[in-house]
């Protein structure tokens, strides 16, 4: 059976690799990311979270040195939790300064489970305001899991637009409810270029929830791009979680 990456490659659709990386095995983590690029991934997301032991810059430097040694021109995205003073930790600074974009995690309900008034805007402020992203474009990962609700998804998307950010990631494909995905689908009209019929695009997107996130990420240039993406995604979804 073809892997999901091979199927996307066969369909002519760019795809990337992501790893939750551990500081005690930086060379192994770099190797796994680089191997995925060898297999066709066009970008890599380094997901570095403090709770697994990331502190100093040295392990991250080793990881990135090895990754760029094997793929000098690779686009690398930094997936980080930038709340509090985490943004100033040496490992985050090393990763951000050597990455092409920042993907700060903004999960309002996870940050404030009681969902107090203003918890959406406060989550964005916690993660973005007065932070050092070293000039990198910011694509926040917004929350579509844990039953956050469609209204909260819409509010997160509205905050992305209010702040003038160039885009966002949707986390996660497997846990969003249908109403939550409908909010993402509706917003995808904003990111699509002029030309394709919005009705036709939305009809395709509703055929499978995962399409929404990929539309935002890859910014298709035509309706045919969407058709190709849908065909590949339908075929590959059962393999994604296993790999």
What is the per-residue pLDDT across 49-59, written as a single tens digit (0 to 9) for each? 877 777 789 99
Name the nearest CA neighbour of 191 among 163, 220, 158: 220
- With a cut of 80, say whether residue 225 has pLDDT above it: no
> Can you read off the two tokens belonging to residue 164?
């003038």
CA gap 220, 13 in Å, rounded? 10
Averaged pLDDT, 44-68: 90
> Can you read off the two tokens belonging to residue 63?
């990881």
Pair 103, 147: CB distance under 8 Å: no
> Can you read off the two tokens belonging to residue 167?
């885009």
User: How far separated are the first and last CA of the chain, in Å rounded?
Assistant: 12
Classify each residue of 181-196 as buried b or exposed e, where b means 16 or more C-beta atoms within 10 Å of its C-beta: bbbbbbbbeeebeeeb
Share of the chain above pLDDT 70, in %: 72
Half-sphere exposure of 148 (CA within 13 A, CB side): 29
Q: Can you give the pLDDT at residue 214?
A: 47
CA gap 126, 29 in Å, rounded? 29
Q: Can you give the pLDDT at residue 240?
A: 36
Pair 37, 71: CB distance under 8 Å: yes
**Among all chains, which residue has been given the structure tokens 């297999």?**
39
Pair 26, 59: CB distance under 8 Å: yes
Q: Which residue has the higher pLDDT, 2 or 208?
A: 2
- With a cut of 50, say whether residue 243 has pLDDT above it: no
Strand order in the sheet with 75-80: 17-20, 43-47, 75-80, 101-106, 141-143, 169-171
Q: Can you give the pLDDT at residue 42?
A: 83
Q: In residues, how long is the chain?
A: 243
> Can you read off the two tokens belonging to residue 108?
């309002």
**Average pLDDT over all residues of the chain:** 80
- With a cut of 70, say whether residue 223 has pLDDT above it: no
pLDDT band at 136 (very low <50, low <70, confident <90, very high): very high
Q: pTM score, two decimals?
A: 0.79
CA gap 208, 134 in Å, rounded? 36
At 175-217, the pLDDT tens digits run 778 888 888 877 766 665 555 455 554 444 444 434 444 444 5
Q: Can you give the pLDDT at residue 64?
A: 98
- With a cut of 50, say whether residue 60 has pLDDT above it: yes
User: Other C-beta atoms within 10 Å of 11: how many?
Assistant: 18
CATH of domain 4-176: 3.20.20.390
Q: Can you give the pLDDT at residue 17?
A: 84
Question: Of the segments 99-103, 199-203, 221-225, which one has the largest average pLDDT value?
Answer: 99-103
Q: Can you give the pLDDT at residue 231?
A: 55
Share of the chain above pLDDT 90, in %: 49
pLDDT band at 174 (very low <50, low <70, confident <90, very high): low
């Amino acid at each position: 059976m073809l892997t999901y990456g091979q199927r996307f490659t066969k369909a002519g659709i760019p795809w990337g690799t992501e790893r939750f990386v551990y500081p005690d095995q930086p060379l192994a983590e770099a190797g796994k990311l680089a191997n995925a690029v060898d297999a066709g991934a066009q970008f890599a997301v380094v997901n570095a979270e403090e709770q697994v032991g990331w502190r100093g810059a040295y392990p991250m430097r080793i990881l990135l040195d090895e990754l760029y040694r094997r793929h000098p021109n690779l686009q690398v995205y930094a997936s980080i939790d930038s709340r509090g003073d985490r943004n100033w930790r040496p490992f985050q600074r090393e990763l951000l300064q050597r990455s092409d974009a920042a993907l700060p995690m903004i999960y309002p309900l996870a940050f404030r489970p009681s969902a107090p008034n203003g918890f959406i805007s406060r989550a964005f402020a916690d993660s973005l305001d007065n932070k050092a992203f070293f000039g990198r474009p910011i694509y926040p990962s917004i929350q579509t899991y844990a039953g956050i609700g469609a209204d909260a998804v819409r509010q997160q998307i509205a905050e992305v637009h209010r702040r003038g950010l160039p885009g966002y990631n949707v986390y996660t494909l497997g846990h969003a409810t249908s109403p939550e995905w409908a909010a993402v689908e509706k917003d995808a009209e904003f990111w699509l270029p002029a030309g394709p019929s919005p009705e036709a695009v939305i009809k395709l997107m509703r055929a499978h929830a995962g399409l929404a996130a990929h539309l935002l990420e890859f910014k298709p240039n035509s309706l045919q791009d969407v058709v190709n993406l849908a065909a590949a995604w339908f075929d590959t979804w059962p393999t994604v979680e296993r790999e």
